[in-house]
Structure formats: C-alpha cells, structure tokens
Amino acid sequence: MKQIIVQKFGGTSVADTDKIKRVADAVIREKKLGNDVVVVVSAMGHTTDYLIKMAKDISPNPSAREMDMLLSTGEGVSIALLTMAIHAKDYDAVSLNAMQVGIMTESVHQKARIIDIKTERLRKNLKQGKIIVVAGFQGTTECGEITTLGRGGSDTSAVALAAALKASRCDIYTDVEGVYTTDPRVVPNATRLDKISYEEMLELARVGANVLHPRSVETAKQFNVPLRVRSTFNLDNLGTLIIGAKDMEIYQPVTGVAADLSQIRVVFCDVPDVPGNAARLFGALSDENISVDMIIQSYARKTTNTNDIAFTIHKDDYAKAKSIFEKIKNDLNARAVHIDEDIAKISIVGAGMVDRPGIAATMFETLAKLNINIKMISTSEIIISCLVEKEDAQKSVKALHKIFELESNEIADVKGDLPDLE
Ligand code: ASP
Ligand code: MG
C-alpha cells in the first residue's frame, strides 16, 4: 500500500505567489516519491493578523462567531491558489475546506477542538490520484457552523488529519530549519535539535516556542504520529524529528529555553480564607471558557484571615476576563484586583531534569546575578518557569541558554522579525 504523507505549510511559506509556486514544487517532490499527499495550508503571510485588525477597528469586542466567519476566509484563499499552482505544473489536485472534508469540532468559537475527521472524501480523492489541499485552522460543527481552532491552529489540523488517515508522517514546513534550543532570533548561536521528545516539545510549545501549536504536539503524542519540523526553503535539510521520549537517549538536563510574552498576571488581593473561594474564582473563569496558566495562593495571613490568589491568563482572553472581575471580586469578598500586563514567563524545559537536583537553584541564581526579580514560580516534572518583568525577558533567555550549555558553534541562518522582546 502507498504511504500517506501529510505536509503543512505555514503563513510565511505561502506569503506571496512566488512562494506558493515553490510550495507546489515541494508538494510535487513528495508526490513523485510515490506517496499519497495531503497538504494543509495556513492563510498567506500576515493575513490573519490583518483580518483581526480590521475587526477590532470596527468593534473592540466582536462576536466570536463572526470572527470565525472572517478568519476562516484567509485559509480559503491559500488552498485555492496553491491548488492552481499545482495544476499549473501539470499535477492533479483539489482544494477542500473543512466543511467539505468534514473536520468536525465542538461548538466553541475561536478555539474549538477537533472531535472527528471524516475520511471518505479524502480517501476517494487520493484513490483518484489527486493531491489534496486542505484549509488549516478551520472546522465545522454538527449544525454546519464554521469554527476556528485558535491562533496557529493549522498545525493541529495537519496532525489530526495525519492521525485520521493513519499517515506515515506529518511534515510541518516553516521558515526555520527546525526546533532550536531557544529562539535563534534572540540567541543567534542557538542549536538546532535533530530530535526532541513529544513531552519536551509540548512544554516548549506551551511556553512560547512559536514553532508549533501545542495541541498539534498533544495530538501527535496521543496518536503516535511522527512529526518533522523542516524548512520550506531548504528541502534537503530534514529538520527536527519529534518522537516519543522512550525512543531517545537523554544526556542533558535542559533541552530548551523559552519566553512567553502572551500572558497577563491577575491578583485577587485579600480573599477571605474560607473553603470554596478558589473553586468560585476559577469556576467563574472556566464558565467563560478562559484558561488559566500559573496559579499561586499565598499563605493565609493570621491577622486578616485572608490570602492573595494570583494567576496568569492569555492576553487574548483579557477583555472577556476583565468584564467579570468586578463581579468575582464581590462574590469572593476580596479587597482588590491587580493587573500586571508587562510580564514574561521564562521557562527551561528538559526531560533530563527529572531526578537531577539543583536545576531550579541554578535557574534562580542565574536570574539573581542579573538582579532580575522573580514574581511567580511554577514547576512540573520537566519544566521550571519564572515570571519576570517583560523588559528582563531577553536578558533572562540569553543567560539561561548559556548557563545550561545550549550554545552551538554556528550562527543560525534565520529570517523573520525579532519577536516582541524589549
Ligand atoms: N492562519 C491562522 C493564524 O495565523 C492559523 C495558522 O497559521 O496556523 O493563526
Ligand atoms: Mg502558523
């Protein structure tokens, strides 16, 4: 039987018509190897950002349903253009949107999860020898509504398609050569990893290594889909392979360092120390579908019998969250709510830190030497994160990358704008 390969091309890979023609070459190259090829594409370049900007110019809080109607158009453009480019090179191809494929999601707008993918039409088209070009990032509900999967969601579309079709591999083509020990635009001598485990990649993706959408890695891990991150512009470089930790030897305690600038810290001050208050607070946020990341509850002060509850949320949820803070504050009988927007979450990740003491201490000492104040700390088995002032983000990443010996002798060849690190 033929192998099925899923290829995914991000926004930078299809940013203009010349690039789309190059993507067509990469697709045809895979097809010529004798494989069945399903391609997933994102919207061209900064299209999604531009669409969001237009919506925000019209309304500060646009309806989530209409946002999905709007944003899903971006991918609609790129699938049609890429299919035309493949036709122009005399290969048979067909574009399909999520509704035509049957990428079924839950009925949540803007961050829907995929629950099922119908494969009949895909299999039929593959059997006819066609290359299939599928719109990433979008889905549809039982009732025929259009949904989107959250920013960067095309990666997840690709991996979910690979899982549904039992593909041999899912190749995520992007503008970098693979997964690095940290963002090479911040640290030019970052090292490209040949392999990384799903577990480590998941943590890195969650804390702001912008290579892959976290849910795509989760899905790959769950269905054991071998994932490759590789460059659209250097097809001979195989990039980074992402596989199960059990298939790897782990030598170093830390694999990567990342800065997440997308969070906002919220503190409810002087919350009465009674049972049920934390449940009330986080229940109210979850009712609005707002995810919470770091959570710290302070030791209860004897004098007032209150404590502070601090947590972080994504800045995209801020407007929605803010509208219910006053009500939550009153329900909890808390004294005040503090918001801190200028923060960065700096994380070190490594499967090798399990059972190796001293890694956290080294991280804190490194930040202390730079006189960087830590506002919150969280840890789990293979990750340690510290919240710092946003202006300290770049310094922190550089110092941690160095202390954990992640530098390479080469300067990475990376294009693209520096992320918003001050
Ligand atoms: N176009 C969407 C975005 O910019 C989805 C994606 O690129 O993966 O977030
Ligand atoms: Mg993307």
112: CA distance to ligand 1 center in Å? Answer: 14
What's the pLDDT score for residue 415?
Answer: 54
For 13-39, the pLDDT digits (tens) are 999 999 999 999 999 999 999 999 999
| CATH number of the domain bearing residue 63 | 3.40.1160.10
Confidence band for 421, pLDDT divided at 50, 70 and 90? very low
* Residue 256 Cβ contacting ligand 1 at under 6 Å: no
154 touches ligand 1 (CB under 6 Å): yes
Residues 187 and 214 in one domain: yes
Percentage, residues of the chain above pLDDT 70? 96
Which of 70, 151, 155, 216 most suits a substitution to test ligand 1, by most atoms within 8 Å of the C-beta? 151
Q: Atom 6 of ligand 1 has which residue's CA nearest to it?
A: 152
Single out the residue in 213, 248, 283 at which a domain terminates: 248
Q: Answer whether 48 contacts ligand 1 (Cβ < 6 A).
A: yes
Average pLDDT value over all residues in the chain: 93
Same domain for 285 and 226, yes or no, is no
Non-local CB neighbours of 275 within 8 Å, separated by 6+ positions: none
pLDDT number for residue 251 = 72
Q: Is residue 146 part of a domain?
A: yes
Tokens at residue 402, please? 């160095």
Counting ligand 1 atoms within 8 A of each CB, the residue from 9, 71, 155, 172 with the most, and so the one to mutate, is: 71
Q: How far apart are CA 232 and CA 212, in angstroms?
A: 15
The verdict on the CB of residue 350 being under 6 Å from ligand 1 is no
Per-residue confidence (pLDDT) for residue 246, from 0 to 100: 72
Residues 214 and 266 placed together within one structural domain of the fold = no
The last residue of one of the domains, among 194, 227, 248, is: 248
Number of structural domains found in the chain: 2
- Cα distances from 339 to residues 263, 336, 377, in angstroms, run 11, 10, 17
Mutation test residue for ligand 1: of 46, 48, 77, 215, the one with most atoms within 8 Å of CB: 48
Dump the DSSP string for 19-63. HHHHHHHHHHHHHHTT-EEEEEE--STTHHHHHHHHHHHH-SS--
Can you give the pLDDT at residue 422? 29
Q: Which ligand number lies closest to the CA of residue 205? A: 2
pLDDT at 320: 92
Ligand nearest to the CA of 78: 1
Q: Yes or no: say if 185 and 416 are a contact pair by the CB < 8 Å rule.
A: yes
For 77, which DSSP code? H
pLDDT in tens, 90-135: 999 999 999 999 999 999 999 999 999 999 999 999 999 999 999 9
347's tokens:
């994380």
Residues 181 and 269 in one domain: no
CATH code: domain of residue 331: 3.30.2130.10
Query: What token pair was written down for 60?
Result: 């500060």
Tokens of 377: 């700390």
Rounded to an integer, what distance in angstroms lies between the CA atom of residue 46 and that of residue 389?
Answer: 28
In the prediction, which pLDDT does 205 show?
Answer: 83
Which residues does 201 contact at the CB level (< 8 Å), separation at least 6?
179, 212, 217, 242
Q: How many C-alpha atoms does 144 have within 13 Å on its Cβ side?
A: 0
- Distance from the alpha carbon of residue 269 to the mean position of ligand 2, in angstroms: 38
Q: Is 108 contained in some domain?
A: yes
Beta bridge partners of 312: 265
Q: Does the beta carbon of 307 lie inside 6 Å of ligand 1? A: no
> Are residues 152 and 234 both part of a single domain?
yes
The torsion of the CA quartet 413, 416, 420, 422, rounded to 10 degrees, works out to: 50
Amino acid at 79: I
Alpha carbons 207 and 258: distance in angstroms, whole number: 6
Q: Are 98 and 141 part of one and the same domain?
A: yes
Residues 242 and 320 reside in one and the same domain: no
CA of 396 from ligand 2 middle (Å) equals 26
Examine the domain organization and report whether 207 and 261 are in the same domain. no
- Tokens representing 45 are 């370049």
Secondary structure element (H or E) that encloses residue 357, with its range: none
Q: Are residues 91 and 212 in the same domain?
A: yes
Question: In angstroms, rounded to a whole number, what is the distance separating the alpha carbons of residues 130 and 123?
Answer: 10
pLDDT tens readout for residues 254-285: 999 999 999 999 999 999 999 999 999 999 99
User: Does a structural domain hold residue 421?
Assistant: no
Residues 46 and 131 in one domain: yes
Q: Identify the pLDDT of residue 59.
A: 96
pLDDT of residue 414: 62
Determine the Cα angle at 120 with ends 118 and 124, to 5°: 145
Same domain, 145 and 292: no
Atom of ligand 1 nearest to the CA of 75: 1
Which ligand 1 atom sits nearest the alpha carbon of residue 153? Answer: 8
DSSP three-state, residue 166: coil
Tell me whether residue 54 is in a domain: yes
Q: What is the pTM of this model?
A: 0.80
User: Which of 196, 220, 248 is a domain's end point?
Assistant: 248
Of 9, 415, 81, nearest in space to 232 by CA:
9
Of 267, 339, 269, 265, nearest to 304 (Cα)? 269
Residue 51: C-alpha distances to residues 45, 158, 238, 327, 418 (Å): 12, 22, 33, 32, 22
**Tell me: the pLDDT tens digits for 141-171?**
999 999 999 999 999 999 999 999 999 999 9
Alpha helical stretches, state H, 89-138: 98-101, 120-127
217 pLDDT tier (thresholds 50, 70, 90): very high
Predicted pLDDT of residue 184: 86
Predicted pLDDT of residue 401:
96
410 domain residue, yes or no:
no
Residues 181, 46 within the same domain:
yes
Query: Which atom of ligand 1 approaches the CA of 11 most closely?
Result: 7
Mean pLDDT of 214-230: 93
Q: Residue 110 C-alpha to ligand 1 middle, in angstroms?
A: 11
Residue-level pLDDT at 391:
97
Distance of CA 297 from the midpoint of ligand 2 (Å): 35
In a domain, 417, yes or no: no
- 25: containing domain: 4-248
pLDDT in tens, 176-216: 889 999 988 889 999 999 999 999 999 888 776 777 888 89
Which region among 182-186, 303-307, 323-327, 368-372 has the lowest average model confidence (pLDDT)?
182-186
Over residues 327-353, the mean pLDDT reads 95
Please state the φ and ψ torsions of residue 336, each to the nearest 5 degrees. Answer: -155, 165
Residues 6 or more apart in contact with residue 287 via CB below 8 angstroms: none
pLDDT over threshold 90, residue 363: yes
Ligand 1 contacts CB of residue 113 (under 6 A): no
